[in-house]
Amino acid sequence: MEYEKAWLKYHRLSNYKDCTFFCCIYVRESDLVIETAIKELQLAVKEILGIDCDRIHNPNGREEYNMNSGIYFVADQSIQKEGYHIYAKEQVIVIQAGDSKGFLYGVFELIRYLQRNQSVRNIDYKMEPDIPYRMLNHWDNLDGSIERGYAGNSFFFQDNEIMVNERTRMYARLLASVGINATVINNVNVKDCATDLISDMYFDKLRAMASIFKEYGIQLFLSLNFAAPMELGGLHSADPLNEEVRTWWKEKMVEVYQNIPNLGGFLIKADSEGRPGPFTYGRTHADGANMLAEAVAPFEGLIIWRCFVYNCQQDWRDKVTDRARAGYDNFKPLDGKFLDNVILQIKNGPMDFQVREPITPLFGALHHTNQMLEVQIAQEYTGQQKHICYLIPMFEQILQFHTYLQDQKDTIREIISGQALNQKNCGIAAVANTGNDSNWTGHDLAAANLYGFGRLAYQKDCTAEDIAREWVEVTFGSNKEMITTITDILMRSWPIYEQYTAPLGIGWMVNPNHHYGPNVDGYEYDRWGTYHRADHLGIGVDRSERGTGYAITYQEPLASTYNSVETCPDELLLFFHHVSYTHILKSGKSVIQHIYDTHFDGVENVENMMKALDKIKEYLPLAVYNRMVPRLEEQLRLAKEWRDQINTYFYRKSGIIDTKNRTIY
């Protein structure tokens, strides 16, 4: 399959003012990653400025510039790991970094200046990333399919073989350019051949892949099958307290790390949606995770253990069991019981990547456990990369959210960066939206989510809007109208998607299994714990203390805020409360009128978005625009379908007419 270079496709600048800086690179120390940084800078300077940027050995190092123009790499231990300080001084640009990855990230920052035709003459920019692990989780299967993949098939696997080729390198370049430093290449649902990834069938290829990643400062991780001792080792049990099982894992990890020395560790989905886990043996998730953690500890490996554990065999008649509570109920009692090389990976919401969910209360509940946030840039519930839905504003809100875990340093960002609880094994992971489509992400605008995820994770001080604009510029160039239009579309896209889909935080209402398109009762009488409980009088799930009690699992004042209909924010009202259709929202509208209005508005907004894009199409590459058109048409078609099904459903249930008398069926 052909592939493009996404935001790393460089465009030649004919009028760049500060070319003289880019004549050469002075380097003293070197290693694998620094060599990558040099090569990347040389490539960009050649392609953007047409200059051969020589590499010159600089024996003097720090502060010893001989004032020849050029870019100086200077090691500086006062700068934190993976950080850099770039500044200009007369004819010189200095990149100071605390380690070799810092140089690589500094170089990509400098390249962005070139890509955006910005002067570097007065550059003085320091960045030290706060979140230690910035990771992608691919749900790629070994047969080449991708679970929830919307951009073609896997570029890692095909017919149960691993592919290591030039695309692997391009992938690593894209990740490194936005500061992503770890990746899990296989699906968390580890079945069939994927169980064998930790056997000699696959070691050579994995080693080759890990060493390409290493050049770009990226650690390879794998998803693991908890039942591997049985399925691979032929044991009769996978009980984490069984000595034979423990020994099997220890020996297995010796073998794995001998063969793939750079491996970062493992991601595990256990006791979740049919996957095996410690519950089978009456053991806890701490027992399971710690067994694996002990086995990888000699190699400084990490065990990333997912908290997506809930009862997926619920009876819809049962109004006591609440899936939203499951993460909290399962993991809060285990706080402090995990070894230090275990990280709990927690989805942002208590349910599953809906367009709007509250932040899971688990983040505010753990005081002695390493934590990692899991978000999803694969647009499973947000338009499947046919609809435009720029998710970085959502992630920005999540990261800024105050959990009230403690008086200070209580935001999600402070927790997962390790600052809140003084931890070092923490991070953020995104379920990846890539595939082997030539543009990597299916919808060209979905690349903004991949780019944006990395940038937001690396750079604590930039906003979703800055990132959107930056992505547009580095991808599509410098036309002002085009930049403003696309940035604006991206920024409005998540609220618009929310308008025409499930209202007021209730979520779901999608077709079962594939999760695309409206189906109000699609999950209403199912076993997945995802109900809206609508009848002729009202809608919503009572999660207050009178209902499932979920609302009061939060720290105060969140618990009180969510617990009461009066104080619960509109956007989450139906998640927390069952209210009548005539209930008046804080906006002053009734619930039913809000539903009608937002659904009509949502479709109109999609139409306006299409018109706006049409106006600037001449500034986009033809291939890009041609790929976009059928997707835009599909977005509009489906937005109308959502509007009409949702409005009709609630009109029929409630019998309440639209005050504006628009067409409802």
Q: Does 65 bind ligand GCW (CB under 6 A)?
A: no
Is the CB of 188 or the CB of 559 nearer to ligand GCW?
188
Q: How far apart are CA 503 and CA 599, in angstroms?
A: 9
Q: Which tokens go with 61?
A: 């190092």
Shortest distance in whole angstroms from residue 147 CB to ligand GCW? 5
Rounded to 5°, angle at Cα 556 from 551 and 558: 50
Q: Does 308 bind ligand GCW (CB under 6 A)?
A: yes
Shortest distance in whole angstroms from residue 241 CB to ligand GCW? 25
Q: How far apart are CA 469 and CA 485, in angstroms?
A: 10
Residues 6 or more apart whose CB falls under 8 angstroms from that of 513 comprise: none
Is the CB of 507 or the CB of 602 nearer to ligand GCW?
507
Expressed in angstroms, the distance from the first to the final Cα of the chain is: 45
Q: Does 283 bind ligand GCW (CB under 6 A)?
A: no
Shortest distance in whole angstroms from residue 370 CB to ligand GCW? 20
CA distances from 435 to 127, 168, 216, 532 (A): 31, 12, 20, 33
Q: Does 108 bind ligand GCW (CB under 6 A)?
A: no
**Residue written as tokens 């940084």?**
37
Q: Does 188 bind ligand GCW (CB under 6 A)?
A: yes
- Which helix (H) or strand (E) element contains residue 41? helix 32-49
Q: Does 310 bind ligand GCW (CB under 6 A)?
A: no
Is the CB of 112 or the CB of 532 nearer to ligand GCW?
532
**Residue written as tokens 């120390």?**
29
Point out which residues pair with 26 in neighbouring strands: 56, 72
Q: Which of 352, 396, 470, 597 binds ligand GCW (CB under 6 A)?
A: 352
The binding track of 210-249 with respect to ligand GCW, each residue x by CB under 6 A or -, is ----------------------------------------
Is the CB of 50 or the CB of 274 nearer to ligand GCW?
274
Is the CB of 145 or the CB of 555 nearer to ligand GCW?
145
Q: Which tokens go with 100?
A: 């070799």
The binding track of 539-578 with respect to ligand GCW, each residue x by CB under 6 A or -, is ----------------------------------------
- The alpha-helical segments, DSSP class H, found in 260-323 are 285-296
Q: Does 173 bind ligand GCW (CB under 6 A)?
A: no
Q: Please report the sign of the dihedral spanned by the C-alpha atoms of residue 70, residue 74, residue 79, residue 84.
A: positive
Point out which residues pair with 25 in neighbouring strands: 55, 71
Is the CB of 352 or the CB of 357 nearer to ligand GCW?
352
Shortest distance in whole angstroms from residue 449 CB to ligand GCW? 17
Q: Which tokens go with 412?
A: 């999600």
Shortest distance in whole angstroms from residue 581 CB to ligand GCW? 29
Q: How far apart are CA 206 and CA 198, in angstroms?
A: 9
Q: Does 508 bind ligand GCW (CB under 6 A)?
A: no
Q: How far apart are CA 638 and CA 148, in angstroms?
A: 19
Is the CB of 347 or the CB of 543 nearer to ligand GCW?
347
Q: Which of 55, 101, 134, 148 binds ligand GCW (CB under 6 A)?
A: 148
Shortest distance in whole angstroms from residue 143 CB to ligand GCW? 15
Q: Does 41 bind ligand GCW (CB under 6 A)?
A: no
Q: How far apart are CA 185 and CA 649, in angstroms?
A: 41
Q: Does 30 bind ligand GCW (CB under 6 A)?
A: no
Site for ligand GCW in 358-417 (CB under 6 A): none
Rounded to 5°, angle at Cα 173 from 348 and 196: 65
Shortest distance in whole angstroms from residue 191 CB to ligand GCW? 11
The binding track of 247-276 with respect to ligand GCW, each residue x by CB under 6 A or -, is ----------------------x---x---
> Phi and psi at residue 302, in whole multiples of 5°?
-110, 150
Shortest distance in whole angstroms from residue 264 CB to ligand GCW? 20
Q: Which of 189, 262, 555, 561 binds ligand GCW (CB under 6 A)?
A: 189
Is the CB of 379 or the CB of 423 nearer to ligand GCW?
379
Q: Does 10 bind ligand GCW (CB under 6 A)?
A: no
Shortest distance in whole angstroms from residue 309 CB to ligand GCW? 10
The binding track of 445-484 with respect to ligand GCW, each residue x by CB under 6 A or -, is ----------------------------------------
Is the CB of 137 or the CB of 548 nearer to ligand GCW?
137
Is the CB of 147 or the CB of 329 nearer to ligand GCW?
147
Shortest distance in whole angstroms from residue 352 CB to ligand GCW? 4
Number of residues binding to ligand GCW, judged by CB under 6 A: 9
Q: Does 139 bind ligand GCW (CB under 6 A)?
A: yes
Q: Does 285 bind ligand GCW (CB under 6 A)?
A: no
Is the CB of 191 or the CB of 402 nearer to ligand GCW?
191
CA distances from 591 to 153, 479, 496, 571 (A): 42, 42, 18, 11
Shortest distance in whole angstroms from residue 116 CB to ligand GCW? 36
Q: Does 145 bind ligand GCW (CB under 6 A)?
A: no
Beta-sheet pairing, 70-75 with 92-97: parallel
Burial state string for 627-646 with b = 16 or more CB within 10 A and e = fewer than 16:
bbeebbeebbebbbebbbbb
> Phi and psi at residue 537, in whole multiples of 5°?
-100, -35
Instruction: Tell me the residue nearest to ligand GCW as measured from the CB.
Output: 352
The binding track of 619-658 with respect to ligand GCW, each residue x by CB under 6 A or -, is ----------------------------------------
What's the order of all strands across the beta sheet hosting 24-27?
54-57, 24-27, 70-75, 92-97, 84-89, 124-127
Burial state string for 240-262 with b = 16 or more CB within 10 A and e = fewer than 16:
bbbeebbebbbebbeebbebbeb
Q: Does 194 bind ligand GCW (CB under 6 A)?
A: no
Other CB atoms within 10 Å distance of the CB of residue 399: 23
Shortest distance in whole angstroms from residue 306 CB to ligand GCW? 7
Q: How far apart are CA 9 and CA 1, in angstroms?
A: 18
User: In this structure, which amino acid lies at residue 599?
Assistant: H
Q: How far apart are CA 36 and CA 10, in angstroms?
A: 17
Taken as a whole, the chain contains a residue count of 665
Catalytic residue numbers read 273, 352, 380
Find out whether the peptide bond into 557 is cis, omega within 30 degrees of 0. Answer: yes
Is the CB of 148 or the CB of 386 nearer to ligand GCW?
148
Contact 382, 497 (CB under 8 A): yes
Q: Does 147 bind ligand GCW (CB under 6 A)?
A: yes
Q: How far apart are CA 263 and CA 275, in angstroms?
A: 23
Footprint on this chain of ligand GCW (rule: CB under 6 A) = 139, 147-148, 188-189, 269, 273, 308, 352
